[in-house]
């Protein structure tokens, strides 16, 4: 027989022991003894989060990808702004020969593009910042933003699917809570 590693505390346990002497966790694959009908049911422990679970092993990659998405959004604003500012920034003089003539160089569509792109960029940066700090609110906020970003085909859809795969399962909630406390 081989020794086994306790999934709860990480201690190496001899094969003869059916449970960990430190924390009492049972060896994986070993069924507990059947109780007599008159015995009280044993208390069940909440699911144990294994060290290096799905969230812990993928959190950094998710954060980096959201940061890269924010950078792509910032870079996408540059050509859009150049399209709306074809002659560069006009002078601020309001005289009869000035380019400005009291009007904003952006049209309504230009302002809408700028505001929507800026809002999406800020959303990406807040997701990356929350995941980096392992903030307690970051999981829910990231799930909400990911569901919205499913519509942003193809990069936003791929990033959202990966993010939801990491953060959406029920076991991820406990792991995120534990990571936030570290």
What does the pLDDT read at residue 135?
92
Cα–Cα distance measured from residue 59 to residue 176, given in angstroms and rounded to the nearest whole number: 9
Residues 123, 131, 75, 104, Cα dihedral to 10°: 30
Angle at Cα 137 formed by Cα 128 and Cα 177, nearest 5°? 100
CA dihedral sign, ordered 46, 136, 7, 171: positive
Instruction: Show Cβ contacts of residue 135 under 8 Å, excluding neighbours closer than 6 positions.
Output: 129, 180
Listed in sequence order, the DSSP H helices in the chain are 54-84, 108-133, 138-149, 155-167, 170-181
Return the half-sphere exposure (C-beta side, CA atoms, 13 A cut-off) of residue 163: 30
The pTM (predicted TM-score) of the whole model is: 0.60
Percent of the chain with pLDDT over 90: 32
**165, two tokens:** 């795969």
Question: For 88, which DSSP code?
Answer: -
Note whether 102 and 114 are within 8 A (CB).
Answer: no
* Closest C-alpha to 178, from 136, 144, 141: 136
pLDDT of 61 reads 94
Q: What is the DSSP letter of 4?
A: E
How many Cβ atoms from other residues are within 10 Å of residue 118's Cβ? 13
pLDDT tens per residue, range 55-113: 888 999 999 999 999 999 888 887 766 665 654 444 444 555 555 444 556 677 777 87
């Amino acid at each position: 027989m081989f020794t086994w590693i306790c999934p709860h505390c990480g201690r190496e346990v001899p094969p003869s022991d059916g449970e960990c002497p430190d924390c009492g966790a049972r060896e994986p694959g070993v069924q507990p003894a059947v109780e007599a009908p008159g015995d009280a049911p044993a208390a069940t422990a909440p699911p144990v989060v294994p060290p290096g679970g799905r969230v812990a092993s993928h959190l950094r990659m998710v954060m980096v990808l959201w940061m890269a998405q924010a950078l792509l959004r910032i870079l996408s604003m540059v050509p859009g702004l150049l399209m709306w500012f074809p002659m560069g920034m006009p002078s601020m003089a309001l005289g009869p020969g000035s380019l400005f003539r009291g009007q904003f160089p952006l049209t309504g569509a230009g302002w809408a593009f700028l505001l929507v792109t800026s809002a999406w960029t800020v959303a990406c940066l807040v997701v990356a910042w929350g995941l980096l700090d392992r903030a307690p609110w970051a999981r829910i906020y990231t799930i909400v933003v990911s569901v919205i970003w499913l519509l942003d085909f193809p990069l936003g859809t791929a990033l959202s699917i990966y993010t939801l795969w990491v953060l959406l399962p029920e076991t991820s909630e406990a792991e995120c809570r534990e990571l936030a406390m570290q």
